[in-house]
Structures are given as structure tokens and as C-alpha cells.
Chain A
Amino acid sequence: MSRADQNDDVWVVVPVHNEQQMIGAVVDGLLEAFPNVVCVDDGSTDGSAAAVAATGAHLVQHCVNLGQGAALQTGLSYALRQPGARWFVTFDADGQHRVDDAGALVDAVRSGRCDAALGSRFLGAATGMSRRKRLALRAAVALSPAARRLRLTDTHNGLRAFGRPVAERLHITMNRMAHASEIVALLAAGPWRVEEVPVTVRYTAYSTAKGQSLLNGVNILFDLSVRHTGA
């Protein structure tokens, strides 16, 4: 039985926004270990959708750009509808995550040790991360009551795995980047056992250029402060 066959109850959700250059290679790497990959093209203006279509991944397309949080939720909704889907993984499109790490996260939830497994670059390794980025990520953890409650070291890691009960309860409403904090808050509010698993995040020139500016921290705080208002 190959690695891919063992993982046929796993769905990997990859939010994609203007990742034409990397997405093909990222998806091909994932498909070697996980047969079910769904890419959510979040209104890309480059050839990302065509690049995904050329792979064996499922493609779901937002006709306008909504943000990474919205793309994740769409991917999860799609995966939840697929027969036989038991485990769900979120994975970044820019090639900063390793497929082996995704496997380790799936093992953690599959073994029953926890309901949700979150990747942490601070337990593991982060190669090529700038000092400013490290400080900002540390601050994000320190400022989050939910992260402290769950004893997390990294709240903004795109690599996560969880089972169906958690996936069904996650309703990400933060369309843009505040979804990472929102997911942690939802996990902390529920009865879930959450475990951090060390992962390696590779900062390349590409992912650094694609990654969000640290200034976005201000946007995130602003978005979170109005989370529950619904005028």
C-alpha cells in the first residue's frame, strides 16, 4: 500500500492567490503523499487556475478575491462534502511548508492524541526568517489570550490538521489574514485537545516577497476587534 493510498481519507486545502510560479510544484509534491488536494483559487489575476487545472488537484474558484480566510473556509466546505473525508489539512501555496510535516500533523490527529494539530516553526525550524518577522510572530502569540490558554508558540502557521468534528465547527468569518487568530480562538473556545507539532518553514526569496507585510498586523487587530458585529 503506497503512502497516497493510506491517506485517501485526508483532504488537503490549499488557498491560492497569484501563485502561478510555485503552485504546480507544490501541488505535485502534495499529491505524492495525499491523493485528495483541493486548491481554492481566490480570484487570482495570473495563470494560477490554469496551473492548478494542469495538476490532479480539485479546483474551486472564487470569481472575485475575498482573502485567504475566505479561501480556506471555501476549501474546507468543499472537502467536507466529499465522501470518505475524515481528516483535513491546511497548507500554504507558496512552498514554505514541507509535505512530510503535513504527514506528521495528520499522524498526530489520526492517532487520537489530539483533535487539532497545529504546525509550529518555533518548536521546529524556520530557515531564513528575518529577526523582525520572528519578533512580530512572537508578539502575535504573546498578545493572544487564546494562544496562551492553549500554550501555543506559533499562531500564524498555515499548516494545520484536524478531524471532521473540528472542521465542521470552524466557520471562518475573517476573510483576510485575521483568520489565523480566529481559528486559534475557535479552537480555544471549544472542547478540543490541541497539540503543536514542530514543522520547518522555509523562507525563500519567493515566499518572503509573497508573504504578508508586518504592517498587516495593524489590519489584523482592527479586523479582530469588530469580529462579532453584524450590522
Chain B
Amino acid sequence: MVVIQAVLVVALVGVLVLFTRREHGLRMQVGKRLAFVAFIGANVYGVLRPDDLTRVANHVGVGRGADLLLYGLLVSALFLVVNTGLRFRAVERRMTELVRAFALHEAELRRSSAPPDAGM
């Protein structure tokens, strides 16, 4: 198997694991941020020295540096989608708690202020 194939398969499986993992602790968060910084760094390097990118690409079994860039973008885009989706879920869960607490509070206030037989 060509190196790039192994790398891409591992990266995509990594996205899947992130997607179904139960806990997202500190370690995970730090990992994500370090990976992001590394990705930016690699991009800056690739812009400054495109020939090196092609050399690396050839080394791992990809024809052109541009193709390697495309693969990298694909994996990061997937990662972004999954990470954003998880973040939205967390926000939604908090909103649910908030709306529920408010609804229960309001219902109890309404009950206690209404006369007992008001039929409200």
C-alpha cells in the first residue's frame, strides 16, 4: 500500500472515532488545537516552498503537491464538519436544559398564583 493511502485511511477512521467517542476531555481538546496549529504551519511551509510539497507528495506516493494539498483539505473539512456538529449538539443540550428549567418555573408560578379552582 502506498504511504498516502495508509495516512488517509487512518485520518478518516480518526474522524469517525471522534464522531462516536463518548468523552471529549482536555486531552482531546489540546490534541485538536495542536493539530490545528500544525496544519497551519504545514500550510505556510507549503506556500513558501511549493517544490518541497511536491517532493513530499512524491515521497508518499502522490503525483503532485497540489494533490497532496487536496487530500489534506478533504480530511480537515471532514474534521471541521464533525467537530462543528458535536459542538452544536452540546449547545442544543444546554439550550434544552435552559428552556426546560424556564418552562417548569413558569408553570409552577402560574399554578401558585392562580386560584385553585380557576381551571387553568
Chain A residues within CB distance 8 Å of chain B: 40, 53, 55-56, 58-64, 66, 70, 73-74, 77-78, 81, 173, 175, 225-226, 228-231
Contacts and interface: CB of A to CB of B under 8 A. Distances in A.
Contacts of A74: 100, 103-104
Interface of B: 19-24, 83, 85-87, 89-90, 92-93, 95-96, 99-100, 102-104, 106-108, 110-111, 119-120
B103 A225 contact: no
Contacts of A229: 19-22, 24, 86, 89
Contact of A231 (B86, B95, B96, B111): B86
Contacts of B93: 173, 230
A225 B18 CA distance: 12
Find the residue from A55, A60, A73, A81 having the highest chain B CB count within 10 A. A60
B92 A77 contact: no
A230 B24 contact: yes
A53 B120 contact: yes
Contact of B99 (A53, A55, A62): A62
Contact of B86 (A58, A70, A226): A226
Contacts of A63: 99, 102-103
A64 B92 CA distance: 12
Given A53-B120, A66-B99, A58 B22 contact: no
B107 A58 contact: yes
17 contacts: A53-B120, A55-B119, A59-B110, A61-B103, A64-B95, A70-B96, A70-B99, A74-B100, A74-B103, A78-B104, A81-B108, A226-B85, A229-B22, A229-B24, A230-B22, A230-B86, A231-B90
A73 to B, nearest CB: 7
B22 to A, nearest CB: 5
B103 A40 contact: yes
Nearest to A173: B93
A226 B20 contact: yes
Nearest to A69: B96
A73 B103 CA distance: 12
Nearest to B110: A59
Contacts of A64: 95, 99
